Structure 1
Amino acid sequence: MSSTAQDVDRFEASRPRLEAIAYRMLGSAGEAEDAVQETFLRWHAADIDRIEVPEAWLTKVLTNLCLNQLTSARARRETYVGQWLPEPLLAGDPMLGPADTAEQRESVSYAVLTLMERLSPGERAVYVLRTAFDYPHREIAEILGISEAASQQLLHRAKEHVADDRARVEIDETAARRIVEEFLAAATSGRTESLVRLLTEDSTAIGDGGGKVPARARAYEGAVAVAKFLRGLFKPGKAKHAILGGTAEVYASTANGDPAVVAVVDGRVFGVMCLEVTAEGIAAARSQVNPDKLERTTAHWAASDHGEPLIHAF
């Protein structure tokens, strides 16, 4: 059946929420947009007059599309070149979804999105719907076709998988800029000692180039190893200049609520390094340089006021 203009408007009013759910489920903005568009096509073809609660119907259709996507994604990621990391989103992107509570903000942090790769599709769905969007277990059970007890058990297991012993620190924009400035000053100093002081003893560094941009697939582990890697990463060189295709302007920003180093070349975001900050220091530096995962970030960057670069590098 064809939908009316009112039906389309009703769907569009739900689109931001649906995109935010899909992004947290899939860790990819592009895949989230595709899942929401497929949900719209099914909405357009449905007998809408017979749908009692449109929001619940849309959420159920979208969630099941994401579950199917996650199942097939596991097979695709087995052949993915290098380390797979989520797609970062810069501050202000509506796809980040609700951020009213500390739990909601943490659930979309880059660290937690990365840890969520450990979850089964069902665990991930329950974790997202309950933690980030406050759906009661009764509704989650209806969406997934399981019992309330099963939903509660899935949430318990999901929380165990994404938990770690690090005490994360909530960062506002001012603090994020200060952290990035201090980080860049240490990384470009040519000395590892200043970087080591900023890092936790068990810190890690890893990147995702998707086989399109050079990135180390295995993580550097330990403060000294990470500091040496970062010192080399920010050291200028002809090879890096060739890979970038120019000189990078490096900015301080936030991505998924974390302090972020954003490298921009000729208006295009070349890379985003998300810094996981704990009470003990920087626990991880995760870099996304796969161009396929930076298209939305580049569009968002072009439309925002990002100030002046902190440094020109490489």
Structure 2
Amino acid sequence: MDEQQWLADRFAEHRSHLRAVAFRMLGSLSEADDALQDAWLRASRADVGQVDNLAGWLTTIVARVCLNMLRSRGRRRDEPLDIQTADPLLGPASAGDPEHEVVMADSVGVALLVVLDTLSPAERLAFVLHDLFAVPFEEIAPILERSPEATRQLASRARRRVRGAAPAPHADLTRRRKVVEAFLSATRGQDFRALITLLHPEVTLRADRAVMLTAEPVTVAGAEPVAKGAMAAMRRARFTGPALLDGAVGLVMAPHGRLRVALAFTIAGDLITAIDVIAEPDRLDRLQLAVLD
């Protein structure tokens, strides 16, 4: 077996790990597969004779590619393209399968992807590699061209952003999370009866202008009208998961890890009394987002 085929086989062996790193770095399967394609081209042109830790070396290459993509994204803010990948090293062309990407996002955590998208490229790389994949700071520092201590500080800043501010002492996060997750389950499953049981009879739903593309915000009142509206709106809602919004449990919708809509809930007892659907960019930017433990 020649060296090129040997390297191709080793790359295929590590593909799942490398793809997991790239997805957490980029938040999109199509972009992650693009990164792996680029990483393979770089690796295939390199001399691997002196490489002692092949998995670590390949991870470093993928991380460098992702860092460049994040920096370029920061300049362009282009939306990722849903391209199908047919390269045999990358496996089945799943990037174009939205269901597969939804499962991947759910497994990582939609809220985590949203918060990671708010970090600088350097913070994101330091946090993902160290906190999620246990790569030592001494190995991350050369990628960022910083000292290990400076890299440690980047990861620490990112960690504080992911955790967010402490919720209010009186906030019953466990109970409220159960209500919000039940709302998500009922709307996803189109279970009208289950949804009605979660809503206060006088519940109100307010959707801002960017949600409905209307001149003024839209308000709906009453359990049945709100339930019908929520069912219709959430029927096709993908990439949705619980998160802390300004210290309270809510939902975020984030295709490709980029926040598009947030749902803030007012809850009394075990009933939802108000839902605020937020899509206007300036309102989304003002939200303090964090990951629920």
- TM normalised by structure 1 equals 0.55
One-letter code of the match for 2:57?
W
- C-alpha separation in 2, matches of 1:13 and 1:191: 45
- The answer for the alignment partner of 1:297 in structure 2 is none
- The answer for the alignment partner of 2:44 in structure 1 is 44
Alpha-carbon shift at residue 168 of structure 1 (Å): 7.0
Kindly indicate whether the alpha-carbon contact (under 8 Å) linking 2:126 and 2:154 is maintained by their aligned counterparts in 1. yes
- Structure 2's unaligned 5+ residue stretches are 81-97, 258-293
- C-alpha separation in 1, matches of 2:11 and 2:197: 54
Kindly indicate whether the alpha-carbon contact (under 8 Å) linking 1:123 and 1:157 is maintained by their aligned counterparts in 2. yes
- C-alpha separation in 1, matches of 2:207 and 2:22: 27
- C-alpha separation in 2, matches of 1:287 and 1:136: 30
Query: Is residue 2:281 matched to residue 1:284?
Result: no
- The answer for the alignment partner of 2:23 in structure 1 is 23
Alignment of 1:130-145 (within 5 A): 130-145=130-145
Kindly indicate whether the alpha-carbon contact (under 8 Å) linking 1:191 and 1:231 is maintained by their aligned counterparts in 2. no
Kindly indicate whether the alpha-carbon contact (under 8 Å) linking 1:186 and 1:194 is maintained by their aligned counterparts in 2. no
- The answer for the alignment partner of 1:72 in structure 2 is 72
- C-alpha separation in 1, matches of 2:256 and 2:151: 36
One-letter code of the match for 1:283?
G
- TM normalised by structure 2 equals 0.58
Query: Is residue 2:160 matched to residue 1:151?
Result: no
One-letter code of the match for 1:272?
R
* Structure-2 change in CA distance of 1:138 and 1:228 (3 Å): farther
Q: Aligned to 2:238, what secondary structure does the other structure show? A: strand
- The answer for the alignment partner of 2:289 in structure 1 is none
- C-alpha separation in 1, matches of 2:243 and 2:8: 42
* Structure-2 change in CA distance of 1:154 and 1:35 (3 Å): same
- The answer for the alignment partner of 1:122 in structure 2 is 122
Alpha-carbon shift at residue 70 of structure 1 (Å): 0.6
C-alpha distance after superposition, 1:223-265 (max 9, x if no partner): x8xx987742424xxxx9xxxxxxxxxxxxxxxxxxxx7x5xx
Identity of aligned residues (%): 27
C-alpha distance after superposition, 1:8-43 (max 9, x if no partner): 111111111111111001111100001011111111
Q: Aligned to 2:101, what secondary structure does the other structure show? A: coil
* Structure-2 change in CA distance of 1:14 and 1:230 (3 Å): farther
Q: Which is greater in Rg?
A: 2
- C-alpha separation in 1, matches of 2:188 and 2:237: 15
Query: Is residue 2:229 matched to residue 1:232?
Result: yes
One-letter code of the match for 1:32?
A
Kindly indicate whether the alpha-carbon contact (under 8 Å) linking 2:22 and 2:32 is maintained by their aligned counterparts in 1. yes
- C-alpha separation in 2, matches of 1:271 and 1:121: 28
Query: Is residue 2:241 matched to residue 1:275?
Result: yes
Structure 1 stretches of at least 4 aligned residues deviating more than 3 Å after TM superposition: 87-91, 165-169, 175-197, 203-206, 214-218, 227-231, 287-290
C-alpha distance after superposition, 1:34-90 (max 9, x if no partner): 10111111111111213333222212221111111111112332789xxxxxx8834
